[in-house]
Chain A
Amino acid sequence: MIQHFIPSNLNEALETLSKHNCFILAGGTDLMVQKHVSTGVLPHFEKDILYVMDLKELDYVNLDSDKNIHIGASTRFIEIEESPLVPEIYKKVIREIASPNIRNMATMAGNIANASPAGDSIVPLVLNDADVVLVSVNGERTVSVNDFILGVRKIDRKPDEMIKEIVLKPQELNYFYKKVGSRKAESITKVSFLGAYRVEDGIIKDFRVAFGSVAIKVVRNTKVEKKYIGKSVKELKVNQVVQDYAKLIAPITDQRSNKEYRHKVAMNLLKKFLVDLKGETNE
């Protein structure tokens, strides 16, 4: 018989995690599907459950003195989307996640911890070098979102830890985001692309590219990015960049799309980003 823990505060939650190996359940919008059995039948959870959706201490969006944005683990997508502190690019991504009902329930921390290759909010977080702060009775530790996700539904979480918050670095770039799916809403991403740049006097000062749903994790390669930082936009050759990234993504064939389609679409999106970059900067 599994146990159900409904902590009234964070300390209680951490005490519980120090003694019991639990599923950490916030909105439940993915876990309740994974464990679904049938109508009128209890979902099948194989270990104890810790319910964290209503931990008010983790429901916040704050700015610190270095302009980093801290998002508590129990903060739902709807709250993040409505917060004046959150940059527009995250809101753009959030608006295309699932449906309004699901965004009223689901948390960004849950999206990260679920570690689906198609997790949409993970893409801008990896592009941003965002961090998660993990907390346990033994203290806190910070790890980048990219390092926290180890593989498909695998995360670097010790059994006594839970996510306390997500930390977004300040970042002012020009963004191009595209999510490709079957419909405008309630659509699991086939391919997503997020490109960002900053150009001053025709020189590339910042250049970042991330792909979603084309590998077991979000694909971003800072070595390739650094090749182009410092170059002039005039020197930027679209085909060269596409060649660099073509080898870095490894989409699969599944019930939604085949790998050739995903690869082609991903490269087309990259091309469009680069063409727009050159066009917008008149280079």
Chain B
Amino acid sequence: MEISFILNNKKVTIDVTPSMRLLDVIREELHLTGTKEGCGEGECGACTVLVNGEPYNSCLTPVANVIDKEVMTVEGFRETKAYRVIADAFANQGGSQCGFCTPGMILASYAVLKKNPHPTEEEIREALSGNLCRCTGYNSIVNAVMLASKKGIEL
């Protein structure tokens, strides 16, 4: 079936089975490999993408559910000013080691800062509660988001 949606601000139309996971559409069909598969069952958040600005687990999303919606992967977000602030904060605080969770963490961080420009530590942890990290122990990530919120992501 021909399925259309807006990916990283550009309209795409692909011929795929509607039940194909959005994660596989992004990685296998469209060759954007920034979005990762960690668990394939919605528990780790490595597959996080933004759909109409809200973080979704793309491993659980059939592509039919994003028809005519705006999907943003880390590749698209990388082009924005907000990314720069968040990425610099992550680098400054050591919020990334192996980097596998990082695309998901960065998108989830952007989503919380957009909704709540001055979150408390508890609110940051709650917003990232669907993103797992095996390397950092989370504190450096939380500190990075806190630092980014102080710098302001300039919407």
Docked complex: B12-43 residues within 8 A CB-CB of A: 17-21, 24, 27-28, 37, 40-43
- A32–B64 CA distance with the chains assembled, in angstroms: 13
Residues in chain A near residue B64, CB distance under 8 A: 4, 6, 51
**CB–CB B24/A51 < 8 A:** no
Taking the complex as formed, is B96 at the interface, i.e. its CB lies under 8 A from any CB of chain A? no
**CB–CB B108/A100 < 8 A:** yes
Taking the complex as formed, is B95 at the interface, i.e. its CB lies under 8 A from any CB of chain A? no
Given contacts A43-B21, A51-B18, contact A102 B67 (CB under 8 A): no
Residues in chain B near residue A98, CB distance under 8 A: 42, 130
- A28–B108 CA distance with the chains assembled, in angstroms: 20
**CB–CB B60/A100 < 8 A:** no
Taking the complex as formed, is A84 at the interface, i.e. its CB lies under 8 A from any CB of chain B? no
**CB–CB B130/A6 < 8 A:** no
Query: Residue A6 contacts which of B18, B20, B108 (CB distance < 8 angstroms)?
Result: B18
The segment out of B48-56, B70-78, B80-88, B141-149 that lies at the interface is: B48-56
Given contacts A4-B19, A39-B37, A39-B40, contact A102 B28 (CB under 8 A): no
- A272–B27 CA distance with the chains assembled, in angstroms: 50
Given contacts A98-B42, A99-B45, contact A51 B130 (CB under 8 A): no
**CB–CB A36/B40 < 8 A:** yes
Given contacts A28-B60, A54-B67, A102-B130, contact A4 B17 (CB under 8 A): yes
Residues in chain B near residue A102, CB distance under 8 A: 42, 57, 60, 130
**CB–CB B19/A42 < 8 A:** yes
Query: Residue B43 contacts which of A49, A78, A184, A186 (CB distance < 8 angstroms)?
Result: A186
- A23–B57 CA distance with the chains assembled, in angstroms: 20
**CB–CB B126/A100 < 8 A:** yes
- A241–B41 CA distance with the chains assembled, in angstroms: 40
* Cβ distance B133 to chain A, nearest Cβ, rounded Å: 13
- A59–B15 CA distance with the chains assembled, in angstroms: 28
Docked complex: A1-38 residues within 8 A CB-CB of B: 4, 6, 25, 27-29, 32-33, 36, 38
- A105–B41 CA distance with the chains assembled, in angstroms: 14
Residues in chain A near residue B27, CB distance under 8 A: 40
**CB–CB A4/B18 < 8 A:** yes
**CB–CB A36/B41 < 8 A:** yes
Residues in chain A near residue B28, CB distance under 8 A: 40
Nearest 9 interchain pairs by C-beta: A99-B130, A185-B129, A4-B18, A104-B54, A101-B130, A32-B60, A51-B64, A101-B57, A33-B41
A-B residue pairs in contact (CB < 8 Å), sample of 25: A4-B18, A4-B19, A28-B61, A32-B60, A32-B62, A39-B24, A39-B37, A42-B17, A49-B18, A49-B62, A51-B18, A51-B65, A99-B43, A99-B57, A100-B111, A100-B126, A100-B127, A101-B57, A101-B130, A102-B42, A102-B57, A104-B51, A104-B55, A105-B57, A185-B130
